[in-house]
Amino acid sequence: MAAEARYSPDFKEVSVTVRNDWTLAEVQELFALPFMDLMFQAQSVHRRHQAPNTVQISTLLSIKTGACPEDCAYCPQSVRFDTGLETQELLELEEVAARARAAKQSGATRFCMGAAYRSPKQKDLRKVLAMIREVKSLGMETCATLGMVSSQQAQELKAAGLDYYNHNLDTSPQYYQKIISTRTYQDRLDTLQAVRNAGMNVCCGGIVGMGEEPQDRAELLHVLATLPAHPESVPINRLVRVAGTPLADAAPLDPFDFVRTIAVARILMPQCHVRLSAGRSDMNDELQALCFLAGANSIFYGEKLLTTGNPDTVQDQTLFRRLKISAEGGAGQPAAGLPAGAAIA
């Protein structure tokens, strides 16, 4: 679905349609723009394709924690690292249902379930399928991240009512080799293809601040933007440095580089939700506001993201009120229980 994208030098007009044929050079040129010019373009694209002043709310629950055999250098759930994390077997259906009901009452419209698997065993998958059906019965969108899945498993997840499957590429193909050795980049792409073939929406993004170069961030977004179909959700995570992981002492990422990544993602993939994801607990309100200005229009809501901290719901609600942002509910309407800010256009 290729089309032209042209940016007027004097910014009197921004004309952008959805493209899947971006070149790496074009992505690098966007990253190289003066910060204010990039923000202007990103917000202009955002308003052409998204409802302004709204944010989609998701809640993430770890349904199985720790003891993962993978060696992802950023992850406290790997069995290979001593992070002091307490492992937890797969939760019971009743507990997951109760947490989903509480999330809905707090205003979340999508409930995401994460399990620390390399790939789920069939006996565990059957339990997850029951969780999906239960959450779906509440009228919520469903999302899961379970590691690699086969085409058959993807079909089963779709049949159970799963709306979104999350499987991040994490970083560029080149830098990936320095972060993970237990699965390949192609393994991740194969899972994304299985999910897409099953008819589910794709949630796929990456992590920045892992010691990568700016070129790696450009290459990651280039891969995402040139997939046959853009992911419906693109989470941009800022590394949460956890003691005991190989990246515990990674140098902090310049906040403006983080905002740039969100802005470029918005320009490249104008119709997706760009999610301001992990790392928000270390961001002040001003930085989060810049991220929303850059085109982020989705967040995870609640005090924890799998095993790392997240701002509490009261803090988020207060920020939304200050910025006059509305929480996106069904059919673009404000979600129940959350502040209705500026009108949805």
Q: Which two tokens stand for residue 242?
A: 């956890």
**What is the DSSP annotation of 63-120?**
EEBS-B----TT-TTBTTS---PPPBPPPPHHHHHHHHHHHHHTT-SEEEEEE--SS-
The rounded Cα 249 to chain-centroid distance in angstroms is: 24
Which of helix, strand or coil describes residue 268? Answer: helix
Residue with tokens 């992981």: 245
Q: Helices in 106-236 by DSSP H: which ranges?
A: 122-137, 151-160, 173-179, 185-197, 214-225
Nearest 5°: the CA angle 206, 315, 110 is: 50
Task: Kindly list the distances between the CA atom of residue 86 and the CA atoms of 33, 77, 154, in Å, as whole numbers in the listed order.
Answer: 44, 9, 29
Task: Say how far apart CA 320 and CA 285 lie, in whole Å.
Answer: 10
Task: Say how far apart CA 174 and CA 171 lie, in whole Å.
Answer: 8
> Which residues, in sequence order, are CB contacts of 177 under 8 Å at separation 6+?
none
Amino acid, res. 66: G
Comparing CA positions, the residue from 314, 318, 274 lying closest to residue 298 is: 274
Amino acid, res. 105: Q
Provide the sign of the torsion angle of the four alpha carbons 38, 40, 42, 45, taken in this order: negative
Task: Say how far apart CA 295 and CA 297 lie, in whole Å.
Answer: 6
Q: Which residues are catalytic?
A: 68, 72, 75, 112, 143, 203, 275
Comparing CA positions, the residue from 209, 323, 261, 220 lying closest to residue 38 is: 261
